[in-house]
Amino acid sequence: MSIAAFLEQPAEQKNSMLGALCFSADAVESQWQAGMEVPCMRVPMQRLDGGDSLCEIWHGSGHLTQGQSGAIRYRHDDDVLFGVVALSETMFEAGADKTPLQQATESAYRQIFALLDELHYPYLFRFWNYIADINTHTFGLERYLQFNLGRQDAFLAHSRDVVGNVPAACALGSAHGPLTIAFLAGRVAPLNIENPRQISAYQYPQQYGPRSPTFSRASLVRLGHDEVLFISGTASIVGHATLHPADVVAQTRETMNNIKAVLAEANRLASQPGFDLASLYYKVYVRHPADLAQIRAELAHCVGDAPKAVYLQADVCRQDLLLEIEATAVHSLAGQRV
């Protein structure tokens, strides 16, 4: 829904919301006051496919508890916790060994891990990371690589796995704003899924930075009578190399081939296979708005006439990637023997 529709939701509806991921190119801070009781991730990012804003809502079940811990605002039910943290890099000074972005990232993730330990939601399902000027070089290193350093430092500091048992995630670039992170965690362990067409991101060779990214290609989690699939940000990468660096149609096709491979692995591991391209909800990040029509046409060719997709303008973690696609699906197991 749009930000305006989100803010106009009756209290009864808002009381069922764990949180929201909200994107708008020009949202005014004062517009948000009516929605402040719901944890909201706010990203300055233009929607390309109609409408001036987008709010992705995550609902809980039963009684919801909310709170704040450090910079994190959160809500949870008995099974799932949603949280949001935004940290300005101006809070940190460049040190001899850590940049302000690296420090902000490490601080945000350390706060997240401490909160999950305190409230007993040990398993991370999904992260959304948004970083201003993600491809810019500062302090002698690309900012995405600085983010990876800080993220892994926090994982290691809290004795979290940095290979294998890691959550789904994306990391995209916005034009401005603080480091902004949203996350979902719970009390049941997800199945972390890799793509046989790709080297796992946490095993990328050092040519992609001093630390590998810390995420899995997807996470599959059983919540009550549902299985929820979180597909990480996916791009035109086979092995560890970018394919079709100047061809947005070919990149879209290759990205969808990777998502198909992840779906095959998810269905192999699921209690009851049932995920397919048509069942996914897609969020498509587009580097160049002029490419939108070609990307939409290719996605429709791969999925069908009306894929459930929204399109946002964003920078992608590699300069030669023209788009990235993340996806989510819920498969109901109600009435099935599993």
Q: Are strands 137-138 and 141-142 parallel, antiparallel or unpaired?
A: antiparallel
Helical H segments across 1-138, by residue range: 3-7, 11-14, 100-119
DSSP readout, 276-314? Answer: -GGG-EEEEEESSGGGHHHHHHHHHHHH-SS-EEEEEE-
In angstroms, the first-to-last Cα distance of the chain is 34
> Among the options 56, 227, 298, 324, which is catalytic?
324
Q: What CA–CA distance (Å, rounded) separates 196 from 239?
A: 9
Helices (H) and strands (E) counted in the chain, each on its own, are 6, 19
Distance of CA 78 to the CA centre of its chain: 23
* Tokens (6 digits) for 198: 């790709």
- 324 is a catalytic site residue: yes
* Tokens (6 digits) for 301: 């060719």
162 burial via Cβ count (<10 Å: 0-12, 13-18, 19+) = middle
Q: What CA–CA distance (Å, rounded) separates 336 from 332?
A: 9
Active site residues: 324
